[in-house]
Every structure is written in C-alpha cells, then in structure tokens.
C-alpha cells in the first residue's frame, strides 16, 4: 500500500486529489496539510511514502514566513535518512518553478489539470523513485536540454525572478548573498543567452518563452 500525504493550501484541491487516489486499491491518503511547514513536520514524523506537494502556499494562521513547496522538499530530503518521495502537483509550469523543484529533490512534477490516470501512474512511479513528469514538463525539459546556450542556470533564474520583481542589483545581492559584481556577471550571461541588452527586455523575453 502506498501511503500518501496531501500538501496543498486549497481544501477543494485536496478533496479532489483524495477522491482520485482513494479509487485505487494500492493507494491510501494518510494525511492532509495546508502549509509547507505542515508538510515538513508530518513527513518527518514518518509513515509516508509519497508527498503530493504544491509549490506555493498562502500564509498560515500565525502569519509566519511562507515556505515554498520546493523549500519544503529540500528540508524533507535533507532531514531524513529515508525520506518520502515528493511529487509536485501545481498550476505553475515555468522553467524556474520546474528546475527549482527538481533541484530540491522532487522525483516528479505534474500539473493540476492532469487526468486521473496520469496522477495515479505518477504516484506509483514516484513511490518507486522513478521520474514522474507530465508531458508538458517533459517537453519543456527536453527543449531546454536541446538549446543549452539559451538555457538559464537555476541561479540565473533566481536573479531574473528578482529583476522581474523590481529588485536592484544591491537588493538581489543581499537576497541571494552575492556581491554586486557577481550579480552583474549573472546579468551579463542572462542578456547573452536571451539575446537582449536590458533588464526590461530580459524579463519580457523570458516571459515570452515561458521561463518566468
């Protein structure tokens, strides 16, 4: 029996996932949480084989800093000797989101509009440690691998996300613990890969390509 934890801040989404999963004889939902922090504590308590993890959570009742699904995944993977497998189930499909989750240790990445049979297959694959990627995500990664010059690194994506949010080089450096010179170097590489000459053009180009 595959024991599953649902981690999503929308109750209706959890209800939908539970309804699909409980139709399978080899899968059981053993818990639900509405925060990334809850996913970490519940997963680390043991007894979970697969965590269905959303990427973005709203603030909890205590108003604490919101931890992302990718951050929660990294904590779970690093805190346990035999951690549960994490399968991301989200609405977000940008390169930054996908790479962030994979870098954090997620074994799979599905979009919430995936058909029920795809979700069940992904849970079973994830439980075995096998990659479980939706066709859209798989195609995105293949395209990225096929065009390495234009493929931004995870760090470059972080920098570009902050640029898109209006952060200055100094603010980016403080947020990522980098020197301003290093931030400028990352921007030079980003401009080169995207074929642009300015911050505004870089953000616009990245959005057009689905990178942001």
Tens-place pLDDT, residues 96-145: 788 888 888 999 999 999 999 999 999 999 999 999 988 877 777 776 65
Domain termination site, one of 144, 160, 195: 144
| 28 and 77 assigned to the same domain | yes
Q: Where residue 168 sits, what CATH number does that domain have? A: 1.10.10.10
Cα separation, 142 vs 79, whole angstroms? 31
Residue corresponding to tokens 């074994």: 107
Q: Which residues pair with 31 in a beta bridge?
A: 5
pLDDT at 95: 74
| 104 and 60 assigned to the same domain | yes
CB count within 10 Å of CB 198 equals 10
pLDDT at 203: 92
Task: Give 48-96 as a DSSP string.
Answer: -SEEEE-S-----TT-PPPPPHHHHHHHHHHH-SSPPEEEEEES---HH
Q: Where residue 29 sits, what CATH number does that domain have? A: 3.40.50.2300
- Supply the range of the domain harboring residue 111: 2-144
| 37 and 134 assigned to the same domain | yes
Question: Total domain count for the chain?
Answer: 2
| 125 and 157 assigned to the same domain | no
| 107 and 7 assigned to the same domain | yes
Tens-place pLDDT, residues 182-195: 999 899 889 888 88
| 99 and 16 assigned to the same domain | yes
Does 18 score more than 70 pLDDT?
yes
| 77 and 170 assigned to the same domain | no
Q: Which residues pair with 108 in a beta bridge?
A: 87, 132
| 112 and 155 assigned to the same domain | no
Model confidence pTM above 0.75: no
| 62 and 33 assigned to the same domain | yes
Tens-place pLDDT, residues 78-108: 999 999 999 999 998 777 788 888 888 999 9
């Amino acid at each position: 029996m595959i024991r599953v934890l649902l981690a999503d801040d929308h109750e209706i989404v959890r209800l939908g996932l539970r309804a699909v999963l409980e139709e399978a004889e080899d899968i059981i939902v053993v818990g639900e949480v509405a925060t990334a922090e809850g996913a970490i504590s519940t997963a680390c308590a043991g007894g979970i084989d697969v965590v269905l993890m959303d990427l973005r959570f709203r603030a909890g009742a205590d108003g604490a800093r919101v931890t992302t699904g990718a951050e929660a995944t990294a904590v779970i993977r690093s805190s346990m000797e035999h951690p549960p497998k994490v399968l991301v189930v989200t609405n977000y499909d940008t390169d930054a989101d996908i790479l962030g989750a994979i870098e954090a240790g997620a074994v799979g990445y599905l979009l919430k509009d995936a058909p029920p049979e795809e979700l069940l297959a992904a849970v079973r694959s994830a439980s075995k440690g096998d990659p479980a990627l939706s066709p859209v995500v798989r195609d995105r990664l293949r395209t990225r691998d096929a065009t390495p010059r234009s493929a931004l690194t995870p760090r470059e994506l972080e920098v570009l996300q902050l640029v898109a949010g209006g952060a200055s080089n100094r603010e980016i450096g403080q947020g990522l613990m980098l020197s301003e010179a290093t931030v400028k170097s990352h921007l030079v590489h980003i401009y080169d890969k995207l074929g642009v000459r300015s911050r505004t053009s870089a953000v616009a180009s990245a959005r057009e390509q689905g990178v942001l």
